[in-house]
Structure 1
């Protein structure tokens, strides 16, 4: 049986139908962001401070991707991706990746700071608490998040090192 495995790997792609899935930029990042009403209920602006959109989700068994957009002077929740390893890529702008301290000597509320610019990557292991910041005063930051697994897992936390999930979870 073991001798058939290499042959099966060569033949299956020829037998099983495959299709390429395309996600357009306009499907992820709308040209006009949704209207955000003012606190008093009056019409507001077309500005969303932090939002996450699925890019490639449920199309492959072992990998998925989302896009996280942060307006100037905003930040994501503190989160981890459960069992999923992740690669974060700064596609537009710059930002800061805060990660739970790996040092036993540091205070658990004092995360490590990693400055990232456009084109930079960060590998975030499974269960690693982290937060993304856009400290720019005038430019959005777009982060592409690629995770192991066909569907993204996000656990939003109330604080560093506490492991208590936020309920209800926010999407950003």
Structure 2
């Protein structure tokens, strides 16, 4: 019986082909502000980090989201539970802070720029920081698991935030 299993794994995709799924950028990213009468449109007050699902519930093994960190802002300190995470910096520049090691009080700092990848292990606390004056930091976040898990914390090693942050 055990020798039959590899055969089934090889033939199953031919019998039950999967379909390709595409999510268009227009369905993920917020619209660019449009100038009116020569004046740039004001940003929505209080919205400094934008998270949008890109591919969710397409498979049990992975999902993807887009995270935009506005200039002079940062995400909450967070972890993704049991999910391992790959982060790809699309544009802008920023820092990925990760939980302090041992008795250190300061988080580790990892610079991110366009084209950079980062791997965040399961349960690892981290935060994104954009210190730029005028350029958004755009990140693609790919997690193990079909649904993204995001646990926002009050501080490094702190309790979970009880209310969802504004997006």
Q: How far apart are the structure 2 equivalents of 1:77 and 1:67?
A: 15
| TM-score under structure 2 length normalisation | 0.89
SS of 1:66's equivalent in the other structure is strand
Q: Show the counterpart of 1:165.
A: 160
Determine the C-alpha separation between the residues in 2 that align with 1:5 and 1:131: 43
Query: Per-residue CA shift, 1:100-147, capped at 9, x if unaligned?
Result: 012x2312xx21111111110110000001100111111111011000
Q: Flag structure 1 segments of 5+ consecutive residues without an equivalent.
A: 34-43
In structure 1, the residue matched to 2:9 is 9
Summarize deviations over 1:54-77 as a string: whole Å, max 9, x none. 000011110000000011111100
Task: Give the superposition deviation at 1:46.
Answer: 4.2
Task: Measure the CA separation in 1 of the matches of 2:12 and 2:132.
Answer: 49
Q: Hey, what does 1:137 align to over in structure 2?
A: 133
Contact 1:32–1:46 under 8 Å retained in 2: no
Q: How does 1:100-115 map to 2 (within 5 A)?
A: 100-102=99-101, 104-107=102-105, 110-115=106-111
Residue pair 1:52, 1:171 contacting (<8 A) in 2 also: no
* Residues 1:23 and 2:14 are matched in the alignment: no
Q: Following TM superposition, where does structure 1 have runs of at least 4 consecutive aligned residues deviating by more than 6 angstroms?
A: none
Shift of 1:157: 0.3
Cα pair distance change 1:80/1:171, threshold 3 Å:
farther
Q: CA deviation at 1:171?
A: 5.6
**Structure 2 vs 1, CA of residues 171 and 61 (structure 1 numbering), >3 Å: closer, same or farther?**
farther
Match in the other structure for 1:37: none
Q: TM-score, normalised by structure 1?
A: 0.87
Q: Provide the aligned C-alpha RMSD in A.
A: 1.5
